Amino acid sequence: MMNEMNFKMPASLNELALNLDNADEKTYLISGGTDLIIKLREKKIYSGTIIDLKGIQELNYIRQIEQTICIGANTTFTEMIHSEILIKNAPCLVQAAEQIGSTQIRNAATIGGNIANAFAGADAIPALIAMGVKVKMMNAKGEFFLKDIDEVVIGSGKNSLHKDEVITEVIAPVLGHGYKSFFGKVGSRERVTIAKLNMAVVVKNNHETGVIEDARVVLGSLGPKAFRSDLVEIELVGKYITDSLQTEFEKALITQIDISIAGRSSRPYKREAVKALSEDAFSNLFGSPAWRCNNEK
Amino acid sequence: MELIINVNDIEYKLDVNPRMRLLDVLRENLGLTGAKEGCGEGECGACTIIMDGLAINSCMVLAHQARGKKIITVEALEQDGEMDRLQEAFINNGAVQCGYCTPGMLMSCKALLMNNPNPTDEEIKIAIEGNLCRCTGYIKIVRAVKEAIQNQ
């Protein structure tokens, strides 16, 4: 019907593929609903087709298969926070999940929805980029394909999915020995806040030499989409963990902010805010300053 | 479109437009006006209800998404004329002032105690972080939850 909202309730991926067959620009996929329902109301969209993914039980899981962690698209942030697999292998993802919205939002909102919504200040996305995840998708033919998270989230509120495609899974590698990860954010208040700046860091520290061998630093809320900052990463790789490295790390972050949002009114605030974030990242990843001094070479 | 929904242990068969939110159906079809619409975007928590044991904002879930789920609203806290210990504790501690946030606040606290009978102060604060209260300053609410824990 022209002026009605249709509602599809697939119970399996097979049924979902059939529902996707006629998908057009008036087809909306809903999972937790915390973003879509607000959007439909804001844009006064009263007709079209809503496909509810929440009834698809086979999209709700967190599994470890050897060196890979698979997270079903319907997994909520509350479920991620309580996942032993993620607590052990992907602390930055758990830290991001913990800081998303409120208890009510975390109980409903899903990882698949957070990616598809592609909000520039989304908290899970920087952590997913830092983890180097791949996103598994399915089309109306029931075919599955993989893309890097960076190819799925392509801009502010923009994803690269066609109307007849759906995110089904997030695939994260188990980070090897010596890897640590961190997520932090700064907003206008401590909790239930939209990030004015957020950051995920994954580092590999060689315990024998004390040198950082690999670093991925992802910044969010600094542009249309979260991105890896080469200039900050270069500052870390090959270095010993010292207090002066922390200073250099902070300086590099400020430089990145100056480049990314030159001329923006939020720049002075974010230059200051990133200092607290860099301190949090350092103490979280490398322990207290006292511990670091003892290891200085 | 037909919707079969279980609210406060009663099964209802309703005709519901797919774009209606759970909040709309609770208030308008079922007359359960405890859950309130404050912001309509997940900021204030006045519409909080419990779905399958978890607190959620009923303004951010479509009514048809609640099919087959167990919904509990603030109206079910009182049983056979007896208030829930949380309600008693809210009254005892002056945790209700204007009252607009109270149904949502109670449901967030109820969900917390259902899943975690002995929460820490920090856990109480996280449970109600999605519920705005402009009157009490939250201290009395936290105090009330702690009293309810003691009176278990």
Residue A240 CB-density burial (10 A; 0-12 exposed, 13-18 middle, 19+ buried): middle
Residues 221-260, chain A, touching B (beta carbon < 8 A):
none
Give the CATH number of the domain where residue A206 resides. Answer: 3.30.390.50
Nearest-neighbour CA in chain B from A135: distance (Å) = 25
pLDDT greater than 60 at residue B21: yes
B113-139 mean pLDDT: 97
For residue A145, the cross-strand partners are A137
Contact state of A103 with B61 under an 8 Å Cβ cutoff: no
pLDDT tens for A105-153 read 999 999 999 999 999 999 999 999 999 999 999 999 999 999 999 999 9
Residue B70 lies in domain: 2-76
Q: What share of chain A is helix, strand, coil (3-state, %, to 5)?
A: 40, 25, 35
Last residue of a domain, one of A149, A173, A197: A173
What is the domain extent for residue A48?
5-52
What's the mean pLDDT in A48-59? 97
Give the model's pLDDT for residue A294. 47
Give the per-residue pLDDT at A297: 40
A39 touches chain B (CB under 8 A): no
User: What residues of chain B, 78 to 107, have a C-beta less than 8 Å from chain A?
Assistant: none
Given CA atoms A191, A192, A198, A204 in this order, what sign does their dihedral have? positive
pLDDT tens-digit series, residues A156-209: 999 999 999 999 999 999 998 999 999 999 998 889 999 999 999 999 999 889
Mean pLDDT for B123-140 is: 97
Residue A112 · residue A216 · CB < 8 Å: no
Backbone φ and ψ for A261, nearest 5 degrees, come out as -125, 40
Q: Residue B92 maps to which CATH number?
A: 1.10.150.120
| A206 in B contact zone (CB under 8 Å) | no
Q: Report the residue from A5, A41, A54 with minimal CB separation from B65.
A: A54
What is the distance between the terminal CA atoms of chain B, rounded to a whole angstrom?
A: 43
Final residue of a structural domain among B14, B47, B76:
B76
Query: Is residue A93 domain-shared with residue A124, that is, in the same domain?
Result: yes
CB-count burial class (<10 Å; 0-12, 13-18, 19+) for A216: buried
| Closest residue by Cα to residue A175 from A132, A134, A146 | A132
A19, part of any domain: yes
What are the beta bridge partners of residue A139?
Answer: A165
Q: What angle do CA A224, A137, A184 make, to 5 degrees?
A: 40
| Best of B43, B56, B109, B115 to mutate (most A CBs within 10 Å, chain A) | B56
Q: 3-class SS at B35? A: coil
pLDDT digits (tens, 9 = 90+) for A68-104: 999 999 999 999 999 999 999 999 999 999 999 999 9
Across the interface, do A46 and B40 touch by the CB < 8 Å criterion? no
> Do A234 and A264 lie in a common domain?
yes
**Confidence band of A293 (pLDDT split at 50, 70, 90):** very low
Domain total in chain B: 2
List all residues of chain A from 59 to 98 with a beta carbon under 8 Å from chain B: 78
Task: Judge whether A91 lies within some domain.
Answer: yes
The answer as to whether A57 is a domain residue is no
pLDDT at residue A162 in the model? 97
Which residue in A194, A75, A202, A33 sits closest to A127, CA to CA? Answer: A202
Q: Are residues A201 and A277 in the same domain?
A: yes
What is the per-residue pLDDT for A287?
Answer: 83
At B3, is the secondary structure helix, strand, or coil?
strand
Distance from CA of A152 to the nearest CA of B (A): 25
Q: State the total domains in chain A.
A: 3
**Which residues of chain B neighbour A192 with C-beta distances below 8 Å?**
43, 129-130
